[in-house]
């Protein structure tokens, strides 16, 4: 089982949440049963994070950084069957071009991540973003149960199949969800509601519950 924070934009709240989760599990090791292993990556987009926090406009112009330092949207860099060099991202009521670089799987963050997922035989991934306040997935019965439980406890609403289907094709190309579906791995995306806080209280029980379902 793998939990991941900050894949793009300024998703600082997800890093805070992942650090809270690491500290909590360190103090409560008995929560993790012997038959599962838990990995946590607090910040996948480490050079994007570094670039963002050293920018003087970090607090006022947080919309600026959606990519890593090579201007690649890491959530558009997964090697999927529908990969394309350019795509469209829908954010804050606007469509904007984003780059997945000149080929899929070009960037070391995604190369290392996929190597790790495969070498550790990871079956379930919780991927955190800001800030739609939703839980989102594709589409097995097992993952549906996980999503329903996470939503019920956290009060983040479920982003529905219909909403997914109504997104433009450009929004659905080559992202982690498509890659997960093609590789038979459950990925659940949780969008925190706000950008700056960990929302620990809202996520804590859902995270604990995620260890047992
Ligand atoms: Zn995101």
CA 198 to centroid of ligand 1, rounded, Å: 15
Q: The pTM is what? A: 0.89
For ligand 1, the distance from its centroid to the CA atom of residue 189, given in whole angstroms, is 9
Cα(91) to centroid(ligand 1), Å: 10
φ, ψ for residue 100 (rounded to 5)?
-100, 15
How far is CA 177 from its chain centroid?
9
Query: For residue 187, which of 196, 178, 177 has the smallest C-alpha distance?
Result: 177
Return all residues near 93 (Cβ < 8 A) that are at least 6 apart. none
- Which residue ranges form the domains of the chain, and what is each CATH number? 2-210 (3.40.630.10)
State the distance from the centre of ligand 1 to the C-alpha of 34, rounded, in angstroms.
32
Among candidate residues 145, 153, 163, 155, the one with its CA nearest the CA of residue 205: 153
pLDDT digits (tens), the chain, 213 positions: 999 999 976 788 999 999 999 999 999 999 999 999 999 999 999 988 888 888 887 777 555 567 888 888 888 888 888 777 766 665 556 666 666 667 778 889 999 999 999 999 999 999 999 888 999 887 666 788 899 999 999 999 998 888 888 877 766 666 788 888 889 999 999 999 988 899 999 999 999 999 987
Q: How far is the CA of 129 from the centre of ligand 1 (A)?
A: 4
Cα of 207 to ligand 1 centre, how many Å?
19
Rounded CA-CA distance 7/177 in Å is: 13
Q: How far apart are CA 180 and CA 146, in angstroms?
A: 15
User: Cα(53) to centroid of ligand 1, in Å?
Assistant: 17
Strands 186-192 and 134-137: antiparallel
Q: 77 CA to middle of ligand 1, Å?
A: 13
């Amino acid at each position: 089982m793998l939990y991941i924070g900050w894949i793009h934009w300024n998703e600082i709240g997800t890093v805070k949440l992942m650090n809270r989760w690491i500290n909590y599990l360190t103090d409560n090791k008995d929560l993790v049963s012997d038959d599962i292993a838990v990995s946590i990556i607090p910040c996948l987009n480490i050079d994007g994070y570094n670039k963002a926090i050293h920018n003087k406009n970090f607090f006022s112009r947080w919309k600026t950084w959606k990519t890593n330092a090579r201007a690649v949207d890491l959530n558009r860099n997964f090697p999927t069957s529908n990969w394309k060099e350019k795509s469209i991202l829908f954010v804050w009521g606007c469509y904007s071009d984003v780059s997945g670089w000149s080929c899929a799987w070009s960037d070391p963050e995604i190369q290392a991540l996929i190597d790790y997922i495969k070498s550790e035989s990871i079956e379930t991934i919780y991927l955190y973003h800001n800030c739609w306040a939703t839980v989102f997935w594709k589409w097995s019965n097992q993952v549906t149960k996980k999503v329903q439980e996470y939503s019920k406890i956290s009060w983040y609403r479920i982003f529905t199949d219909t909403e997914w289907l109504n997104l433009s094709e450009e929004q659905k190309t080559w992202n982690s969800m498509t890659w997960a579906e093609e590789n038979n791995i459950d990925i659940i995306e949780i969008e925190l509601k706000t950008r700056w806080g960990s929302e620990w209280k809202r996520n804590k029980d859902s995270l604990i519950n995620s260890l047992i379902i």
